[in-house]
Amino acid sequence: MSAPLFDRLRTIAADVLEVTPAKISADSSPESIETWDSVHHLNLVLALEQEFNLQFEPEEIDQMKDIQHILDILGSKVA
Amino acid sequence: MNSTEARQEIDRLIAAQDAPAAARALADLWAHEASPSAAGFVVPRFEQLRPALKLQPYRLAILRSFTVEPMAPLLRAAAFCAGLDLVVHVSDFNAHVQAIMDAGSPLYGFAGDAVILAVQTRDVAPELWNDFTGLTADQVQSAVTRVSGEFRNWIRVFRNKSQAHLIVHNLEASDTPSGGLLDGQSANGQSVAIAEINRNLQQAASENTGVHILDYDALVARHGRANWHDERKWLTVRLPIATIHLNHMVREWMRFLHPLTGKISKALVVDLDNTLWGGVIGEDGLTGIKLGTEYPGAAFQAVQRALIDLYRRGILLAICSKNNQEDALEAIHKHPGMILKPEQFAAMRINWGDKSQNLREIAQELNIGVDALAFLDDNPIERQQVRSALPEVFVLDLPSDAMEFARIIRECPVFERLTLSAEDQRRGAMYQAQREREQLEQNITSREDFYRSLQQEAEIFPLTKATLARIAQLTNKTNQFNLTTRRYTEQQISELVAKPGWDCYSIRVRDRFGDNGLVGVAITHQQGDTAEIDTFLLSCRVIGRTIETAFLSFLVGQARSKGAHQLQGWFLPTKKNAPARNFYSEHGFTPAHRNGDGTLWTLNLTRDSLPAPEWIRLHVLNGDK
């Protein structure tokens, strides 16, 4: 797991989901974070696209069930 | 400072309860990274600071045919940074027709200050978007007529049910017209049909007050049609706009919110060296500075052209420069590359003094608040000094590349206007005439000689459609010579005057130095033998020239001719209208009633008369009521 990538993801997720970065871990998901609803999920996707200057495929967005999955997808696209 | 450090610093300022500094730091952060992520950081912090900041509340509803939710936090963050506390209401998908037609819809329940109607070509004109090549010329024309008629009807119904401003997105052309190259060859092509709807839409908007067109087609084109859209997001979540352009949509909305909320600058104060021309006049001399049609002087001519456009929009220009006045004036008057003319500057401070002090003096000279000034200077140190000494001044951020300057001036939202009166267009020239009047006044000793020498002519006329916008503007911005300070929208004035017994008059003044334009408004109503002045105001640029006496004398004559025995009017004191305090007593009115709000003054028309000053030539015109 790439630590700098996780840190960047954590900062963005904390911003968008309006929680402190400490509350974001690899297994954070819509189940564990109350503000993570469908609108915030879309905002998170858009925030990552802008920050990393990339575009996710619809299938990739479907797989983003928790922070670990997002990190894996990001890692495969950034690398 | 990187973005993590900037965030930590902001949280430190909030913890230290330094709300103004925290708000400035949040605005700085937003200026550097306007993104969905930054919006998630900025919005909740402004919400937390809200009680400690003087934010202007504003309510905005968005009627839409596509996903706008991700733009709402971006818009709220941008609005907070501009001093607006924005509440955003988003309608259901494609519910705009029902929302507009049904008086009981959530749209009207929300009671917004402004409403955006954002619908796409493919949603409101699907046959033109999806199946264009299958249509005959007649079918194309009937689609154009249908869609134009729908827009016209939505605007009309909305205007009847609400006084809110309405911002309507026009329709975008396709980036890949159905006919391919053929589309450009035909007078009945897809692009032409969509442009025709847009022309009809523009016409419908201009026939109503408070309805404004957002040129969505031009916005998309400006950022590149091929790049604006994200087909994946459109097909999956009904978001047609690519991530990197969401903020461009938001900035376009903000360009409207600035003039709608009064977050605008009335004057732009500019530096000279490396701003109006390249180089330093004191060192490079008249022949050394760069200003002309070729690079690099062309960049500065582009700046001057942008400034002339602002001048013609009614924004005053002034100079604040650290220079020897003689050197700078020589360049302004004699340099062949100068596009701006010396008389287009309403004030000049060319000296070695502190710029913030010079800005204060300029505001005073122009008779506007310091908060109505914007400041343009290539030097980041001067900008910082003005920002910290006068935080109420709008300071434009400039990069080091002068070729960017003109675009930044043109995109600046504080210079946006949604209506332009004849007065706005001539404002710069009127300030020039005012300076000449003041010189004349200083040279003539008796007041009466001064009035005579002005050779004033005044026209008084009832409300017309052409003057309605200016009249509403005056009721909203006149603070000093305003007896009752009642603010009216165009809509409200039209409704008032439609009632029996109500009249609205305005006065236009010309003198030997030029046309002052429409400078005064009176609204009266009469019932039985009593006439009452509801509103009486004059622009400060004509105060003290007995125009007010001529105007009041006209109202006295009107009331008498309609059979009134007395004319009455309230003076309602405010913090700013002291210049009007003695108006009624100086014209023979006596106090009849007093309450906590003010004093009601009355004039007995059967006994007293009020002649107009003989040095004003007065014309009374008929209007269209």
Predicted local distance difference test score (pLDDT) of residue A2: 56
Indicate the pLDDT class of residue B541, thresholds 50, 70 and 90. Answer: confident
Task: Report angle CA B369, B374, B380 to the nearest 5 degrees.
Answer: 130
pLDDT tens by residue, B74-121: 999 999 999 999 999 999 988 999 999 999 999 999 999 999 999 999
Query: What are the angstrom distances between the C-alpha of B106 and each of B92, B122, B570, B572?
Result: 10, 25, 39, 37
Indicate the pLDDT class of residue B58, thresholds 50, 70 and 90. Answer: very high
Q: Do strands B165-169 and B211-214 pair parallel, antiparallel, or not at all (unpaired)?
A: parallel
Set of chain A residues whose Cβ sits within 8 Å of the Cβ of B237 = 42
Which residue of chain A has the CA closest to B235? A58
How close A44 gets to chain B, by Cα (Å)?
A: 8
Predicted local distance difference test score (pLDDT) of residue B333: 95
b/e string for B132-164 if b means 16 or more Cβ within 10 A? beebeeeebeebbeebbebbbebbeebbeebeb
Predicted local distance difference test score (pLDDT) of residue B16: 94
Indicate the pLDDT class of residue B480, thresholds 50, 70 and 90. Answer: confident
Contact B318, B268 (CB under 8 A): yes
DSSP H or E run through B85: strand B84-90
Whether A29 and chain B come into contact, CB under 8 Å, resolves to: no
Number of Cβ atoms within 10 Å of the Cβ of B375: 25
pLDDT tens by residue, B234-264: 999 999 999 999 999 999 999 999 999 999 9
Instruction: At B64, list the tokens.
Output: 């839409």
Predicted local distance difference test score (pLDDT) of residue B625: 43
Indicate the pLDDT class of residue B624, thresholds 50, 70 and 90. Answer: very low
Cβ pair A42:B70 closer than 8 A? yes
Whether A34 and chain B come into contact, CB under 8 Å, resolves to: no
Predicted local distance difference test score (pLDDT) of residue B422: 77
Omega before B296 within 30 of 0, i.e. cis: yes
- Return the bridge partners of B166, or none: B115, B211
For residues B520-527, give the mean pLDDT: 95
Set of chain A residues whose Cβ sits within 8 Å of the Cβ of B41 = 15
Cβ pair A50:B35 closer than 8 A? yes
Predicted local distance difference test score (pLDDT) of residue B198: 98
CA distance B472 to B475: 5
Set of chain B residues whose Cβ sits within 8 Å of the Cβ of A16 = 36-37, 40
- Candidates B44, B232, B243; nearest CB to A46: B243
pLDDT tens by residue, B138-162: 999 999 999 999 999 999 999 999 9
* CB-based burial label for B522 (10 Å; 0-12, 13-18, 19+): buried
Say whether pLDDT at A1 is over 60: no
pLDDT tens by residue, B437-447: 877 777 777 77
Predicted local distance difference test score (pLDDT) of residue B485: 94
pLDDT tens by residue, B260-281: 999 999 999 999 999 999 999 9
Contact B307, B317 (CB under 8 A): yes
Q: Kindly report the average pLDDT of chain A as a whole number.
A: 91
CA distance B205 to B519: 27
Whether B103 and chain A come into contact, CB under 8 Å, resolves to: no
Say whether pLDDT at B554 is over 70: yes
How close A45 gets to chain B, by Cα (Å)?
A: 9
pLDDT tens by residue, A22-56: 999 999 999 999 999 999 999 999 999 999 999 99
Mutant choice from A16, A51, A53, A61 vs B, greatest count of B C-beta within 10 A: A16
pLDDT tens by residue, B377-427: 999 999 999 998 999 999 999 999 999 999 999 999 999 999 887 778 788
Q: What is the percentage of chain B residues whose pLDDT exceeds 90? A: 82
What letter does residue B613 receive in the DSSP assignment?
P
Cβ pair A18:B44 closer than 8 A? yes
Cβ pair A55:B230 closer than 8 A? yes
